[in-house]
């Protein structure tokens, strides 16, 4: 079986046309994939940050195990990536796009026969690609999403028919600064934005205007509304609102919220077209019924929820990701998969699909049997970890666990309230029930599960790293 894995950057779980979250957002290729394949409704990441999440995808391990705990940590030399096992099984392997691990390098990595990447976050226009060790500069307004798709399809067409292939397409889109393809620029500007109900929970009681978004004194009003528990919003959330990652001071105040929102959606359109073109090529080559295709985001992205933007935290919009799967012979075709799937499950799933033995070092579990409709024992918990970054100090170290619809979030090392949510009645996480007398047994149980997980997986030490990057919010002024 051939395998195609498509990874996008910062694509949140519900910004796809078929979910109805954004009524005017059109993603026909993703909608088609959900209809013909499986939408993994509860797909989550173990760390909502680019490098740790990507390392977890490649290794099947938690961040505290593979040690890539932030965007600057070097790759431990002993890490093994799942494409290496595919190579050993006779697969031809190709990588196209954003790597963003090992201190932003673009050099070819183990596990891939063909390599095309760029340094760090890359650029949307006129990229410099490292193609198998040779750097090629593109000009004439070359758009990165289109270029990667074109090169990936070309490589796929060149593969011999008697040898299976694994293709990893890792898009820059839709990472900030959002830059849609010229053909999509301005497509959505002017449409009505359905602002999240929690966008102003942490606003001050004095009305003010930010860009096109009028803020009202909802924090004061919410104190009398049983749907909100403003008193138990963590202090760091209130503070982050007026920061680099908050709606009141987005990226040092250089961004207008509405324009930000529109450009995000417009940038996603080229990614959707990429999915369509890749799947169309598989059909033209007669490979669509012999190829597993997985589409996924590396982490989510907040669009004003809790007064925040970006990711890193454990709120739903940050932790959850889009995941769509198409594979021949699936019993779940056209039906959502409800089990909690994490990014550490990608590697074992792909290896099982390829008929490769899953290494014992992988902490994830293959969900390939679930796609076939088999009844297998499956976890009911999703664990989470994020470690405070010197360069982005707005978000504290975060540990947490979700069990079914219950979520417990703990912030070690700071004087702040923990969080507990019942997502069955509070999907927008408006009511922190951490101090509710009726939920103390649930909280203690989940707290115990969290510490048990850390103890059993070797995660009881915070992995400190020597960071040399300047803090972008204050520059290099020697504050620490």
What domains does the chain contain, in order, with CATH numbers?
2-186+260-383 (3.40.720.10)
Residue 213: predicted pLDDT: 52
| pTM of the predicted structure, to 2 decimals | 0.94
pLDDT tens digits for 130-173? 999 999 999 999 999 999 999 999 999 999 999 999 999 999 99
Block residue for tokens 């889109």? 173
User: What was the pLDDT predicted at 474?
Assistant: 46
Give me the pLDDT at residue 463, please.
82
Contacts 24+ apart (CB under 8 A), 278-285: 278/4, 278/6, 278/149, 278/152, 278/153, 278/156, 278/169, 279/29, 279/32, 279/33, 279/326, 281/153, 281/156, 281/157, 282/4, 282/156, 285/156, 285/157
Question: What pLDDT score was predicted for residue 405?
Answer: 95
pLDDT of residue 408: 98
179-238: pLDDT as tens digits: 999 999 999 999 999 999 999 877 754 434 444 454 544 555 565 667 788 899 999 999
pLDDT given at position 478: 40
Beta bridge partners of 76: none
pLDDT less than 50: residues of the chain: 205-212, 214, 216-217, 474-480
Q: What is the DSSP string of 16-62?
A: SGGG-SSTT---HHHHHHHHHSEEEEEEE-SS-SHHHHHHHHHHS--
CA 125/CA 267 separation, integer angstroms: 12
């Amino acid at each position: 079986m051939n395998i195609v894995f498509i990874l996008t950057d910062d694509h949140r779980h519900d910004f796809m046309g078929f979910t109805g979250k954004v009524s005017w957002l059109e993603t026909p290729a993703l909608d088609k994939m959900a209809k013909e394949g499986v939408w993994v409704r509860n797909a989550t990441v173990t760390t909502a940050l680019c490098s740790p999440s990507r390392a977890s995808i490649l290794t099947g391990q938690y961040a505290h195990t593979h040690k890539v705990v932030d965007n600057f940590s070097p790759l431990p030399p002993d890490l093994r990536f799942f494409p290496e096992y595919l190579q050993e099984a006779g697969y031809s392997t190709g990588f196209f796009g954003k790597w963003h691990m090992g201190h932003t390098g673009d050099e070819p990595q183990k596990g891939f026969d063909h390599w095309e990447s760029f340094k760090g976050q890359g650029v949307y226009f006129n990229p410099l690609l490292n193609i198998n060790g040779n750097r090629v500069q593109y000009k004439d307004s070359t758009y990165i999403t289109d270029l990667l798709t074109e090169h990936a399809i070309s490589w796929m067409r060149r593969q011999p028919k008697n040898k299976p292939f694994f293709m990893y397409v890792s898009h820059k889109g839709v990472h900030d600064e959002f830059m849609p393809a010229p053909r999509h620029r301005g497509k959505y500007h002017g449409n009505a934005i359905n602002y999240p109900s929690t966008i102003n929970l942490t606003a001050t009681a004095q009305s003010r205007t930010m860009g096109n978004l009028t803020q009202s004194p909802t924090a004061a009003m919410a104190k009398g509304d049983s749907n909100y528990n403003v008193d138990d919003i963590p202090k760091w959330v209130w503070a982050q609102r007026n920061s680099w990652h908050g709606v009141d001071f987005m990226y040092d105040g250089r961004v207008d919220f509405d324009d930000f929102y529109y450009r995000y959606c417009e940038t996603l359109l080229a990614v959707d077209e990429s999915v369509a073109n890749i799947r169309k090529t598989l059909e033209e080559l007669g490979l669509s019924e012999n190829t597993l295709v997985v589409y996924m985001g590396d982490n989510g992205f907040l669009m004003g929820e809790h007064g925040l933007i970006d990711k890193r935290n454990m709120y739903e919009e940050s932790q959850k990701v889009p995941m769509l799967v198409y594979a021949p012979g699936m019993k779940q075709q056209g039906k959502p998969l409800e089990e909690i799937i994490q990014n550490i499950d990608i590697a074992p799933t792909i290896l099982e699909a390829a008929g490769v033995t899953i290494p014992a070092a992988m902490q994830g579990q293959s969900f390939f049997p679930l796609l076939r409709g088999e009844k297998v024992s499956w976890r009911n918990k999703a664990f989470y970890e994020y470690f405070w970054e010197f360069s982005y100090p707005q978000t504290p170290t975060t540990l947490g666990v979700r069990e079914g619809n219950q979520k417990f979030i703990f912030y070690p090392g700071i004087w702040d309230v923990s969080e507990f949510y019942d997502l069955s009645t509070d999907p927008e996480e408006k009511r922190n029930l951490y101090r509710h007398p009726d939920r103390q047994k649930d909280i203690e149980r989940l707290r115990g599960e969290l510490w048990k997980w850390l103890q059993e997986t070797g995660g009881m030490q915070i992995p400190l790293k020597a960071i040399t990057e300047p803090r972008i919010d204050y520059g290099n002024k020697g504050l620490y």
